[in-house]
C-alpha cells in the first residue's frame, strides 16, 4: 500500500491522518518507516534520550485493528515524540539530568494524556538541555543533539531534541516546552514550525517545572496545519493545573478554522527593537523580505513599531526565571525521589553532595542566580524590580495590540551557531533568546516558521499575537506558508 508514498516518515500529521483514515497506508507501515529512518540517522542527530520501539509497534498494530473496526480517533496511529520533561506513566522521565536519570513517574502529564486519548503513539522521549535550561541542547547530562541541516551546528534549545527529530524525519511531530523561547528558537534553527501558546491555554500538569510563571507546552511540527491540529488536542482547561485558564471550561476550540490564506484585513507591526543590534544581516534581510511578502499578500505593514521596554526583557527574565528555578528545584534534596548521594556524612552534607553531583553546571549557575536574587536585602532590588519590568512589557504589548493584529520579528538573532562555540560564554548563549523572551514575559502566543535560508541554514520568522490570539497567528503563518515553499525543504542528512 505504501508504494505511492516511499518516505512515509516525511508525511505531515494531516496528510498521514488522512491516508490512514482512508486505509491507503497502515499504521504499522507508517511506524516501521519512522523506525527505519531513526535507524538511519539517529546516530548522527542524537535527538532521543529513550526510544520505545516494541510498545510503539504493538500500539500501531492495535490502531490498524481499530481502523478495520471503523474506530478512527482524530490522530489514530500518528507517531510522536515527547520532550523528556513531560511525565509519562511507566516511562523514565529524566529532564536530561542525572538528578532524575532513573525517575519513573506514576502519572501522565495532561498534554500527553490528551494526545494519547486522541490516538497518538509516543515512540520515545527527546533530548533537551537539563531541566530546560539552555539554548543549544549541549547541556544535557547524557549527550548533545546535532542540527540535521549541519551536524557541526547546534539544534537550539532547550527543546532541541524535539525540533531535531521532527526536522530529520524521525517522527511526524513532537511536543516541547517553552520558558523563554525553547520551542521557537530550536524550531528556527531546525527549520520547522514551533508554537508557544498563550500562558494557561495548555495545561502544565505533569511538566517538570523550570519557571512556573513562564513555562508553556506547545507543538513542533512540519507545517502550520499540523500546529493547529495538535493545538486542538492539547489546549483547554485542566482542573489539575491552577494556572489553567478557567475561561476555557467546557470549551473546545477548532484552530484549523483559522487556516485561511488571507491577511488582507490584518495590520502587522515590525518591532524595531528586535531587529537592531545583535541581529545578523542575513537574518535581518530574510525577516524584512518576509514582511514585504505579507505586504504583497495584502496586509498593512508598519515597518517601525517601538516597544521600548523589550530591551529590558532579557535582564528581567534572567532574574525571574532563575528565581523560580531556585524555588522549584529545591525539592531535589536526595530524600523524596531522584538521585541521592550515598556517602557518609550529615544530612546537610548529603544534600549538598546530592545537588552538587546531581545538577549540571548550567542548572547550578541558575540556582545561584535565583537564590541570590531572592535573598534578604536583594529581593526588592532585583526580583521586585524585574516584576515591575514584566508589568511594563505586558502593558506595551497590550497597547500595541490595540493597533496591530500581530507583531513580527526574527525568532533568533543569529543562524544556528557551531557546537561548543558559546558553551564558555553564558551571556552570548543567553542572547540567543533575545527575540523570544518578551512573549513569555507577557504570557502571549507566538509562532516560528521558516522564512529563508543562508549558508544552507534555516531562518525563523517570529509572529507574536495578543492573549488567546492563536487563531490570528495561525492564519497569518498559514497564509505566508502557502505563498512560499520554505516549509517543504528538508535536510539531506
Residues taking part in catalysis: 83, 158, 182
| Distance (Å, whole) CA 239 – CA 147 | 38
H/E/C letters for each residue in 180-199? CCCCHHHHHHHCCEEEECCC
- Structural contact between residues 138 and 419, judged by C-beta atoms closer than 8 angstroms: yes
CA dihedral 418, 423, 426, 430 (to 10 degrees): 40
Strands 457-464 and 446-454: antiparallel
- Structural contact between residues 12 and 222, judged by C-beta atoms closer than 8 angstroms: yes
| Distance (Å, whole) CA 246 – CA 183 | 25
| Distance (Å, whole) CA 336 – CA 201 | 31
Cα of first residue to Cα of last residue in the chain, in angstroms, is 26
Cell numbers standing for residue 257: 478554522
Neighbours of 162 (CB within 10 A): 38
DSSP 285-337: HHHHHHHHHHHHTT-EEEEEE--GGGGGHHHHHHHHHHHHHHHHGGG-SSSSS
Cell numbers standing for residue 286: 530574510
Burial of 488 (0-12, 13-18, 19+ CB in 10 A): exposed
Please name the residue that has the C-alpha cell 517543504: 488
| Distance (Å, whole) CA 493 – CA 476 | 30
Residues β-bridged to residue 408: 270, 463
DSSP 269: E
Find the length of the chain: 493
Q: Which are the contacts of 328, defined by CB distance < 8 A and separation ≥ 6?
A: 209, 210, 211, 212
Amino acid at each position: 500500500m505504501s508504494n505511492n508514498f516511499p518516505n512515509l516518515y516525511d508525511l505531515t500529521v494531516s496528510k498521514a491522518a488522512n491516508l490512514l483514515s482512508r486505509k491507503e497506508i497502515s499504521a504499522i507501515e507508517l511506524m516501521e518507516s519512522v523506525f527505519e529512518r531513526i535507524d538511519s540517522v539517529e546516530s548522527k542527530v542524537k535527538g532521543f534520550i529513550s526510544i520505545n520501539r516494541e510498545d510503539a509497534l504493538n500500539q500501531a498494530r492495535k490502531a490498524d485493528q481499530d481502523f478495520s473496526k471503523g474506530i478512527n480517533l482524530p490522530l489514530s496511529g500518528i507517531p510522536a515524540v515527547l520532550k523528556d520533561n513531560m511525565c509519562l506513566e511507566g516511562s523514565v522521565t529524566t529532564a536530561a539530568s542525572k538528578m532524575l536519570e532513573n525517575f519513573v513517574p506514576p502519572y501522565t502529564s495532561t498534554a500527553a494524556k490528551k494526545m494519547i486519548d486522541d490516538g497518538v503513539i509516543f515512540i520515545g522521549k527527546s533530548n533537551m538541555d537539563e531541566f530546560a535550561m539552555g539554548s543549544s541542547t549541549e547541556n544535557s547530562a547524557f549527550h548533545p543533539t546535532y542540527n540535521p541541516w549541519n551536524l557541526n551546528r547546534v539544534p537550539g534549545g532547550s527543546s532541541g531534541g524535539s525540533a531535531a527529530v521532527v526536522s530529520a524525519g524521525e517522527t511526524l511531530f513532537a511536543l516541547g516546552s517553552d520558558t523563554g523561547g525553547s520551542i521557537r528558537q530550536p524550531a528556527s534553527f531546525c527549520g520547522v514550525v514551533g508554537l508557544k501558546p498563550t500562558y494557561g491555554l495548555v495545561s502544565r500538569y505533569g511538566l517538570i517545572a523550570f519557571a512556573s510563571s513562564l513555562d508553556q507546552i506547545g507543538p513542533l511540527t512540519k507545517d502550520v496545519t499540523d500546529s493547529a491540529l495538535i493545538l486542538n488536542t492539547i489546549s483547554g482547561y485542566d482542573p489539575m493545573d491552577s494556572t489553567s485558564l478557567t475561561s476555557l471550561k467546557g470549551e473546545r476550540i477548532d484552530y484549523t478554522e483559522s487556516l485561511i490564506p488571507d491577511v488582507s484585513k490584518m495590520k502587522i507591526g515590525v518591532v524595531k527593537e528586535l531587529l537592531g543590534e545583535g541581529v545578523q544581516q542575513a537574518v535581518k534581510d530574510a525577516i524584512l523580505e518576509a514582511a514585504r511578502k505579507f505586504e504583497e499578500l495584502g496586509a498593512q505593514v508598519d515597518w517601525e513599531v517601538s516597544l521600548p521596554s523589550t530591551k529590558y526583557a532579557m535582564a528581567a527574565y534572567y532574574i525571574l526565571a532563575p528565581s523560580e528555578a531556585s524555588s522549584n528545584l529545591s525539592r531535589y534534596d536526595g530524600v523524596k525521589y531522584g538521585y541521592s548521594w550515598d556517602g557518609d556524612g550529615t544530612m546537610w552534607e548529603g544534600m549538598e553532595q546530592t545537588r552538587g553531583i546531581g545538577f549540571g553546571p548550567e542548572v547550578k549557575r541558575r540556582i545561584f542566580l535565583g537564590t541570590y536574587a531572592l535573598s534578604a536585602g536583594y529581593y526588592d532590588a532585583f526580583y521586585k524590580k524585574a516584576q515591575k519590568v514584566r508589568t511594563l512589557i505586558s502593558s506595551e504589548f497590550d497597547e500595541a495590540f490595540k493597533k496591530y493584529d500581530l507583531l513580527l520579528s526574527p525568532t533568533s538573532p543569529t543562524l544556528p551557531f557551531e557546537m561548543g562555540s558559546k558553551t564558555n560564554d553564558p551571556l552570548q548563549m543567553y542572547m540567543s533568546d533575545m527575540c523570544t523572551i518578551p512573549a513569555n514575559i507577557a504570557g502571549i502566543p507566538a509562532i516560528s516558521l521558516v522564512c529563508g535560508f543562508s549558508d544552507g541554514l534555516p531562518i525563523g520568522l517570529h509572529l507574536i499575537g495578543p492573549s488567546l490570539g492563536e487563531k490570528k497567528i495561525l492564519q497569518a503563518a498559514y497564509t505566508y506558508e502557502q505563498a512560499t515553499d520554505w516549509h517543504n525543504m528538508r535536510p539531506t542528512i
